[in-house]
Amino acid sequence: MEIRPADKNPTRRGPAEWFTGTVWQDPVAECPEPARLRVNRVSFEPGARTAWHTHPLGQTLHVLSGVGRAQTLGGPVLTLRPGDTVWIPPGEKHWHGAAPGTGMVHLAMQEALNGTAVVWLEHVSDADYNVAPKT
């Protein structure tokens, strides 16, 4: 058993290459092999969002607070609320983030395949982000 003290895992700002707006990441778990699980608590300020991306083994999001948005390529923009859990299948191109006027915090859980848990792609345009969400 290993306990990782919270003060040994500092909050880090999400890099501009991966996010639009201000995003904070708190590492929760990055398990050593043979385990593959990686978990981050991600805090999006209003309007902040990920770039388009995929995960080789899929991703699960669990919304803790606020109001968010998510979309898969070619699909509608969806509204996310506290308690919602989202499964994104392996290889599915998607993005997620906060609503324009409300921040959002979620747990992002994914597994790494050969050391890779995410493949980052282009940024989500303002036009794509601002499409009225399906409620």
Structural Rg of the chain based on CA atoms: 14
Q: pTM of the entire structure?
A: 0.93
Closest CA to 37 of 55, 11, 22: 55
Q: Where are the domains of the chain?
A: 13-117
pLDDT on residue 8: 83
- pLDDT digits over 50-68, tens only? 999 999 999 999 999 999 9
pLDDT one digit per residue (tens) for the chain, 135 residues:
988 888 888 999 999 999 999 999 999 988 888 888 999 999 999 999 999 999 999 999 999 999 999 999 999 999 999 999 999 999 999 999 999 999 999 999 999 999 899 999 999 999 999 999 987
* 74-105 CB burial, b ≥16 within 10 A, e <16: eeebbebeeeeebebeeeebbbbbbbeeebbb
Q: Which CATH superfamily is domain 13-117 in?
A: Jelly Rolls (2.60.120.10)
